[in-house]
Amino acid sequence: MKNIVSLTLLVFFFLSSFTTLERKEIKIRTVVIDAGHGGKDGGCHGSSAKEKEVALKVALELGKQIEENLPDVKVIYTRKTDTFVELIDRAGIANKHHADFFISIHCNAGPPAAYGTETYTMGLHTSNGNLAVAKRENSVILQEDNYEKKYNGFNPNSPQSHILFSLYQSAYLDNSLRFAQKVEQQFKSKIGRSSRGVKQAGFLVLWKSAMPSALIEIGFLTNPKEEAFLNDKTNQTYMASGIYRAFKEYKQELEAMN
């Protein structure tokens, strides 16, 4: 009996020590910033602005702000120039560097009257609108060679394909949602943008990233007023600053749990 009690106490002590050790290791040290589209894939566009260009400018500005204000965080980009990067390689870059978070920046498209920001996490789409956004962003794989094999037979035009793999990333969902909510709050309260909220859908670029992640639609280039706003350098800096503050808050909140 005495031996059993001693062993139980030893196991309890070990588990307590292990838990403490694990908590101390919760640090946000590396973030991968992904500018959507690029190269031969222009993404959506307005009368003059192209998604691949606007997304890159915001992504680079976001990285700059993180590097200047959070020196303990390493920033890695999936692209820094107008180059085409396959979706699977974007997640591969994040996994290779054992990133703690993956941020993908995009511009939206829709009817001319559609406006506002949206931040997506990986998950099951709950509306046809969410599915339509996922289909549009995922359709870039049609420009990749041998995409059927790379993405396990995924068909970007099939609702069934999106449903089947949308349950991936569930292990990271809580933290992904935590960050996404902060992003939309920043856009709404600090920058004065109209927020369409936090949503879930099946995005290939988030699918294979083994870490919390989010895809941010910073506005509609198909809306003339939003296109003019997003094509302005000062406003691009504002949008990047909103994402930066959300990331900073997320980092501080998560690390305070140690």
CATH number at residue 111: 3.40.630.40
> What is the tens place of the pLDDT at every residue in 216-257?
999 999 999 999 999 999 999 999 999 999 999 999 999 998
| Residue 32 belongs to domain spanning | 28-255
Residue 58 lies in a domain: yes
Residue 5 forms part of a structural domain: no
Tokens at residue 102, please? Answer: 């993956």
Of all residues in the chain, what percent are helix, strand and coil, respectively (each to 5)?
A: 50, 15, 30
Question: At residue 156, does pLDDT exceed 70?
Answer: no
CA 179 – CA 198 distance, rounded (Å): 10
- The answer to whether 109 touches 220, Cβ cutoff 8 Å, is yes
- The percentage of residues in the chain with a pLDDT greater than 70, rounded to a whole number, is 73
State yes or no: pLDDT of 124 exceeds 50.
Answer: yes
- According to the model, what pLDDT value does residue 4 have? 41
Looking at the domain assignment, is residue 19 inside a domain? no
CB neighbour class for 46 (10 Å; exposed up to 12, middle 13-18, buried from 19): buried
Show the tokens assigned to 207. 């699918």
Mean pLDDT, residues 129-150: 66
Q: Is residue 48 domain-resident? A: yes
Which span out of 132-136, 139-143, 163-167, 177-181 was modeled with the highest average pLDDT?
177-181
| Total domain count, the chain | 1
Read off φ and ψ for residue 243, nearest 5 degrees. Answer: -65, -40
Q: What is the pLDDT of residues 165-196, one digit of tens each?
A: 555 556 688 999 999 999 999 999 999 999 99
Indicate the pLDDT class of residue 151, thresholds 50, 70 and 90. low
In a domain, 158, yes or no: yes
User: Side chain identity at 162, as an amino acid letter?
Assistant: H
| 70: in domain | yes
CA distances from 179 to 4, 14, 34, 109, 219 (A): 45, 32, 16, 23, 18
pLDDT band at 62 (very low <50, low <70, confident <90, very high): very high
Q: Return the bridge partners of 32, or none.
A: 76, 102
Check whether 159 has a pLDDT greater than 80. Answer: no
Q: Is the pLDDT of residue 49 over 90?
A: yes
